[in-house]
Amino acid sequence: MRARIAAARVRLREDGDILIGDAFVAPRESTALVARLEEAAKVAGAEDWRLDDINIVPVASVNR
């Protein structure tokens, strides 16, 4: 299966024992983008108990 994300950049911050942050993703396609972003946030939060609040933000490019 081909990845639907062309590139990504993640920024996390510690707040005591928990992590909060943002994932900037450059999607390859926009089909059902909102549903896929919501699912990605759920999967990220289930990956580690410390990930309390993660925002997944679609961007055209992750280059600075």
Can you give the pLDDT at residue 13? 95
Q: Which residues of 29-53 are buried (b: 16+ CB within 10 A; e: fewer)?
A: eeeeeeebbeebbeebeeeeeebee
Domain range for 32 is 5-58
Would residue 22 count as lying in a domain?
yes
Query: Is 63 part of a structural domain of the chain?
Result: no
Question: How many folded domains does the chain comprise?
Answer: 1
CATH number at residue 28: 3.30.70.1350
Residue 64 lies in a domain: no
Q: Which residues of the chain have pLDDT under 50?
A: 1
In a domain, 11, yes or no: yes
| DSSP 8-state assignment for residue 63 | -
- Indicate whether 19 belongs to any domain: yes
